[in-house]
Chains A and B, each alone.
Chain A
Amino acid sequence: MALKGLDIFKLTPKTNCKECGNPTCMAFAMKVASGALTIDKCPHMSAEALASLSAATEPPMKTITLGEYKLGGETVLMRHDKTFVSKSLYSVHVCNAAPAEYNDGVLADLEVVDYDRIGERMHAELIHVNYVPGCPDDYYLDLVKRSVATGRALILNTSLELAEQAIALCGDAAYALQGANAENYEAYSALATAKKCPLVVGAANLDELHDVVEKLEAAGNKNLILDVTFDSAAAAFEGAVEVRRAALKGNDRTFGYPSFVDLTRLARGDKNMQCALAALFTAKYGSIIVMDLDYASALPLFGLRQNIFTDPQKPMKVEPGIYPLNGADENSICMTTVDFALTYFVVSGEIERSGVPVNLLISDAGGYSVLTAWAAGKLSASSIAKFIEEQGIENKIKNRTLVLPGKVAVLKGELQEKLPNWKVVVGTREAIELVKFLREYQD
């Protein structure tokens, strides 16, 4: 149960010593209650008070660390309520029961599907290395070795017998251990605890999963990831939703862990269905999504993930600079717009559709749309002229035509004065009209 500020205040020393950085014990207690501070920031808290409070003031969903990545730690069910903090991690899948050409293909694709989108690296963060009993052990260990070599974090779904050997191969690579279920969780948990790695826990259904997690927590292991794949897409979706909802709405700390879904189990070999399910679990509560990730699926999924996990309080921005489109060179005309990512995507998309070579100049407008940036003074004749000067555009591009967004036609006169060598042209008000405008434009 969430505690009120007053309940916490009663347990503080009430000395207002300020050592925690707050003016009064009351102020400190209020911040702890809101989740802004943790209780251990007070150096004078008694051991009993700490124990009773830290359990009660824990965040509803734990943050699990896997190498450089954070999982979980979410506080809301819908992104517009605040923001989602840990993006879904995408994992490719290799398996010792799969033919060599499948595994080789997966590891080769991993190298290819690795690109930049609005300043963020787009790649599968994880490799799920799956063990099927009865299939060669040495091939499994070989796959582990090759996966470690890629520099990705690993999920080792393995037998207990092989786990130590597989872990020994990981070296500095981050990994999570998978394979624990209702029967064998004690041995897996002991190993995961000893190796300080997260443990992926599975079960036959949600009730059993809850039961196993309770037992693991009682044994002191709180570094868990919950496998909600079960046996069908419907069960997996229910699992992902119920786990997240129980933690954030139902005050059920037992389910306060990130979820794991393995789409290669739910839609083996069906890349279209895996793409659909990956979109579903990206939107709804899959913290780790295992799938066959080729480029065709990567393009929409990485874009979707980037959108869903942007902070609604911060605009998405592209880097200011020159973006040559359709093979534009120094003789191609220039267009300018703002650095708001959505504007950039819509405008660049329409320019690409027109097929006309254009140098798109993106100036720093605070990440706002055209009219908002203009109203806020972030997009003005001075800001554009300054951008052209600072970026040394006149040395890089010989063409002297600059097309302004139609919505800020009002800037034309002033901009023309500031850039006497240029021919300032007013473009279209809407991006959708750009194709026609560009195809008909005669420089």
Chain B
Amino acid sequence: MAKKITDRVTWVGKIDWELKSFHGDELSTDRGSSYNSYLIRDEKVALIDTVWLPYDREFVARLKEEINLNQIDYIIMNHNEVDHSGALVELMREIPGTPIYCTAKGEAIIRGHYHQDWNFVRVKTGDTLPLGETTLTFIEAPMLHWPDTMFTYMSGDNILFSNDGFGQHYATESLYNDRVCMAEVMQEALKYYVNILNPFSPMVMRKVKEVVAMNLPLNLICPSHGVIWRETPTQIIEKYLQWADAYQEDQVTIVYDTMWQSTRKMAQAIGEGIQKASPSTTVKLMNAAVDDKNDILTEMFRAKIVLMGSPTINNGYSYAIAGLLEMARGLKFKKKRAAAFGSYGWSGEATKMITEHLQQAGFEIVNEGIRQSWVPDTDMLQACRQWGAELV
């Protein structure tokens, strides 16, 4: 169902309540998501982005209820991952000659996906497209989060169509940030930033500052996923400037895996030691094999110190810890301290191996870690408390 945003702009996207994972299974989307597409009706008519491929027919059918497709003068593709470009084939079947405005990288990506020789119009930062009373201005934003990404600013209605930037995987029928639970939205916005945008924080910082310096009047930020930022849209810009700047809180995140509870006991004792030494520090324990991987990464992002523990198994560490180490490497966390711990039976390689991987992932290693054999006794647990206390 289309939703009117302003006299000229209508939301024509798809709310996906059922979506529980994204990028295959790389990103959990517990609260669903939306694929936001926007129809602008000025003297000229422009469509900004489409929806994910499985909903292509539904999208086009609903768009037809809203407008005669032949009245669409321009299609603007801010980013061409399949969750936004997926309905293009179905749409272009109906209006094959309609120009598609995108970056040069965007054209290459659309061609690479759909292998169609559509009417592409390449745009660069500063290029404009007058629609009548309003004008679209394009702002290239490479690697936020793909090479093709751009923002589109609509003067007159003062809307920034930011695509994945400022987005959240959050399904709601209520459309606006001021109509939903803000705690939920901010949690999803943070999780989205950490898991998708954090590797590109230097570009985020530069691009957001560039957009702020343009001093554009800003009534709405309309991302491609989740709610539209209507109430104080600058709040998410301010958050991005914080998150992109080696963000951390006074938090220690202890991530562990355990086979027979020994490493879990160590984790708990370490947490107790930290909490006693520094009562104001937030301590969070997360089981790598049980907790959601993207929630764990989000809590690693918030932390100033990350402790990672695994029992030694087959001369190595657990599969869940291995996955998180690889994901943490890719997310390029900045200015975070880390150390490893774990229990073992006879060989005990895990702690050293995890330490090496943490270092390769860009963490500043605090010490060589702590490892204990078999089941920790009272003295061993006290040693864990002491080890934790000395970290803060």
Q: Is chain B found bound to chain A in the same assembly?
A: no
